[in-house]
Amino acid sequence: MRKQMQFSVERPRLERELDRLEAGGLGVIAGSAGYGKSSSVASWASRLGTPVRWIRGAERLSDALLFAAEDDGGIWLPRLGRAARKKSRIDTCAASLCADLAAPYASLTLIIDNTDALTEDPESLAMLRAIAERDPDGSRVIFIGRRRAALRLATARSKRAVLEVGAVALRVSPQQTRQIAEARGWRGTPSQLEEVRRGAAGNGGILSAWLSRADDRSSTRDLDDFIRRDVVGGCEPLLRRLAEERSETTNLHMLQSLWGEGLLIAPAEDDELGREGWEIPKMIAAALSLPGEIATGLPHPPGTQRTHVREMPREQDRRVFIHDLGPLHMEVDGRTVDGAAIRPRSLALLTYLATRPRHSATRDEAIDALWPEADAQAGLNSLNQAIYHLRRAIDPDYDASPEGGATPYVRHEAEIVSMHPELVCFDSASLTTRLNRIRIRPRTEEIEGLLDDYRGAFGSELPFEPWVQRYRGTIEVSLMTMVERAIQSAHAAGDYDRAINLAARATRIDPESGELLESLALMLAEDGALAGARRAARRAIALFEEMEIAPPRDLVQLSAGGELDRGIRARTNEPH
């Protein structure tokens, strides 16, 4: 029965809320079982493009901490890894974890799941408070749990603003409800399906279980058991008291907390599912054997402020930001335009101009690069079409603008085609400018900033165009040269954490570099993270063998489980 209850759907409302969580922020997500909190956050986190680490609250917290630290070879949480391997006390592990989060190169997103289970143990609660109350840094932390009161206990003294997201943002929409029903092979009227969604308070787990149940009594009992045990849990006495006492002095904060967990429906002024007063969802009430319409008398004090979160208006800006490192997309006037939404030749023109000095080229240069086999007139026609559709992609109102009134993002004057230098910004150009500026003596934070901004290879949509390959190679060689020097400098200074972090990030830029992977493997072994060292060593050996190069003996020894010796220790300082 439990497997049948699982169903994954997109949660755009949750993702919009989490997108507001800036670097250094603290997020709290509360909701009863069945709302898909963890899977939804995992889906959001997978698109971040920055490192994410998970810790799951459990009785053996030390094992969970070690597992999180060893993930990805212990690169992003090195201090926690050392403390966990030594089986240090929880407070020592907490201090190590906070130091990792505060490291200048960190910029992590740490997600602690099943957080309210940790609040029941004093040591674990102290660790949560240490994380929430640490001094400001660039790492984001998200607590996920069922009971909002328990999560607030851990975040009460946070030094930063807390973004709270409740069950309302996790509810399945009517469209998602129909998708779940169709996947279950259910046939019925839309009105009946909407009634079930309302009865489940938008809880996708309850809805999926109801759709999957058979006609026999055992399935009905399984559904009720799931609601009582997993969804309601320890809140059953509280809901029963609310239903039976009908107190006129019920605490509004308590009602809002239960609403945030998905155990109540708020009045219609605040809740899309609401009516006149506070209600216990019908399916939850039925599972608890509470009388029908039991909560319509719950008070809704007049003048209560709305508790749902409103979208903050975004400042409008005429500039266009072209994110061309990794899959191309652009931001303009509050909109995001994916490269897939731009016509292929217009996208190619945009990418080509990104490679040019001052983002300009003559018409002949553009035609030769993009339409090398076309005759002069056909090439000119293709260029004009590409310019026209690129202008429309950036400005949907381009056609409706009076002549000469459209914003000149793409300029075509005489023989020159260009992007407006003051209105259009390319990530690749910004990165190249910064590389040139800090080439001599880069500071730590400057290199970390460059790596943060390098989201992927330039021109991923046009990987085989020669002009793309040249520009991509120029960027990567310049960046990697600087990073490799920084790795050697950090290791020579004994800053293994930073050296390992830089090497790991460099292997993401150049995953085919056996030398980089070798360096990473040796430094991980020297730091004591043997599991990650062996994984990196095996990857390096595979790359060497593909190039028909005999892998170093020490690397083979390490991949087979050998210990670090002085010979390996000396090799980590060798330049590549």
Segments making up each domain of the chain, as ranges:
3-170, 174-287, 320-426, 428-571
Distance CA 68, CA 97 (A): 10
**Contact call for residues 353 and 428 (beta carbons, < 8 A):** no
Could you say which of 3.20.80.10, 3.40.50.740, 1.10.10.10, 3.30.565.10 is the CATH number of the domain covering 320-426? 1.10.10.10
pLDDT digits (tens, 9 = 90+) for 145-190: 988 888 888 888 887 888 899 888 889 888 888 877 877 777 777 7
Residue labelled with tokens 């004093």? 122
Identify the bridge partners of residue 140 per DSSP, sorted by sequence position: 109
Residues whose CB is less than 8 angstroms from the CB of residue 205 and which lie 6 or more positions away in sequence, other chains included: 5, 6, 7, 33, 34, 35, 36, 226, 230, 231
**pLDDT value, residue 297:** 47
CATH homologous superfamily for 3-170? P-loop containing nucleotide triphosphate hydrolases (3.40.50.300)
Length of the chain equals: 576
Distance CA 42, CA 113 (A): 11
CB atoms within 10 A of CB 312: 7
**pLDDT value, residue 56:** 85
Distance CA 207, CA 209 (A): 5
Name the burial class of residue 550, with classes exposed (0-12), middle (13-18) and buried (19+) by CB atoms within 10 angstroms of its CB. Answer: exposed
- Give the Å distances, CA to CA, from 160 to 97, 135, 143, 514: 18, 9, 14, 42
Of the candidates 59, 38, 32, 41, the one whose C-alpha atom is nearest the C-alpha of residue 118 is 59
Distance CA 467, CA 92 (A): 53
**pLDDT value, residue 309:** 34
Q: What are phi and psi of 115, to 5 degrees?
A: -65, -40
- Give the Å distances, CA to CA, from 487 to 138, 370, 508: 22, 39, 15
**pLDDT value, residue 348:** 95
**Contact call for residues 503 and 497 (beta carbons, < 8 A):** no
**Contact call for residues 271 and 281 (beta carbons, < 8 A):** no
Tell me how many helices (H) and strands (E) the chain has.
26, 12
Helix (H, G, I), strand (E, B), or coil: what is residue 289?
A: coil
**pLDDT value, residue 28:** 92
The full 3-state SS of 214-269, as one line of letters, equals CCCHHHHHHHHHHHHHHHHHHHHHHHHHHHHHCCCCCCHHHHHHHHHCCCCECCCC
CB atoms within 10 A of CB 303: 4
CATH homologous superfamily for 428-571? Tetratricopeptide repeat domain (1.25.40.10)
Residue numbers of the chain with a pLDDT score lower than 70 = 1-10, 59, 72-74, 104-106, 213-220, 245-250, 291-317, 402-405, 562-576
Distance CA 358, CA 282 (A): 64
